């Protein structure tokens, strides 16, 4: 994972959202190949040595995204460099293509298909609970195997969009912008 992703991760423990402390061991460029993440609130922690932090409890998806990266970028309405996008579940299959269409944007792929690796501007995280803070991402792309869709969409910065397929996220904090076929676009209300 990229070292800057630490700022956007949250403890999976059952308490109010809390930041995590990174103790990097092997860092290549800005990528943490091995290290330790710990929570100062509850003492939860994990270590990894293969570039991919695993918070535990994740379920691997085998399918691929139901739409391509160009469609995701259009639905999210994104343009310009900087910041982060998250993919949730099988939409991780388009993570690398998203970084090609959006130079200077990092992608965190949460629970992508097994053949998706941390590489280039893509950081892979595996976790049974949604591992990213609220109001942290420029966009979230939700697919099969995303787990808690509402938690994923809450990671979008206020006023920005999430898109996906399957169940539309429910809650007064989301405004449905478009839906058709099996796909939807919502705005996270400011
Ligand atoms: Zn904790």
Tens-place pLDDT, residues 46-96: 999 999 999 999 988 988 899 999 999 999 999 899 999 999 999 999 999
CA of 32 relative to ligand 1 center, distance in Å: 21
Determine how many CB atoms are found less than 10 A away from the CB of residue 111: 30
CA of 13 to the centre of ligand 1 (A): 5
Determine the distance separating the centroid of ligand 1 and the alpha carbon of 145, expressed in angstroms.
24
Neighbours of 169 (CB within 10 A): 23
Please give the domain boundaries of the chain with CATH numbers for all domains.
3-48 (no CATH), 69-188 (3.40.50.150)
In this predicted model, what pLDDT tens digit does every residue of 121-155 receive, in sequence order? 999 999 999 999 999 999 999 999 988 999 999 99
Answer yes or no: are the C-beta atoms of 75 and 161 closer than 8 Å. yes
Ligand 1 center to 21 CA (angstroms): 11
The confidence score (pLDDT) of residue 151 equals 96
For the chain, give the percent of residues with pLDDT over 70: 100
User: Is the pTM for the entire model greater than 0.85?
Assistant: yes
Ligand 1: centre distance to CA 56 (Å): 14
Query: How many residues comprise the chain?
Result: 190
State the chain's mean pLDDT as an integer: 96
Distance from residue 140's CA to the centre of ligand 1 (Å) = 24
Cα 51 vs. chain centroid, distance in angstroms? 16
pLDDT at 62: 86
- pLDDT exceeds cutoff 90 at 24: yes
């Amino acid at each position: 994972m990229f070292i800057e992703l630490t700022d956007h991760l949250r403890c999976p423990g059952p308490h109010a959202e809390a930041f995590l402390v990174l103790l990097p061991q092997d860092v290549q460029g800005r990528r943490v190949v091995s290290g330790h993440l710990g929570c100062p609130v509850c003492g939860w922690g994990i270590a990894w040595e293969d570039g991919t932090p695993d918070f535990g409890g994740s379920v691997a998806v085998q399918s691929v995204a139901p739409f391509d990266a160009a469609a995701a970028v259009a639905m999210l309405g994104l343009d310009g460099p900087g910041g982060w996008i998250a993919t949730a579940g099988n939409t991780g299959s388009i993570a690398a293509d998203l970084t090609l269409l959006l130079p200077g944007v990092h992608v965190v792929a949460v629970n992508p298909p097994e053949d998706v690796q941390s590489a280039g501007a893509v950081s892979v995280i595996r976790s049974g609970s949604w591992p990213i803070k609220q109001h942290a991402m420029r966009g979230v792309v939700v697919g099969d195997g995303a787990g808690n869709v509402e938690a994923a969409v809450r990671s979008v910065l206020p006023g920005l969009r999430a898109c996906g397929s399957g169940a539309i996220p429910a809650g007064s904090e989301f405004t449905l912008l478009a839906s058709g076929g099996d796909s939807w676009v919502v705005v996270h209300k400011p």
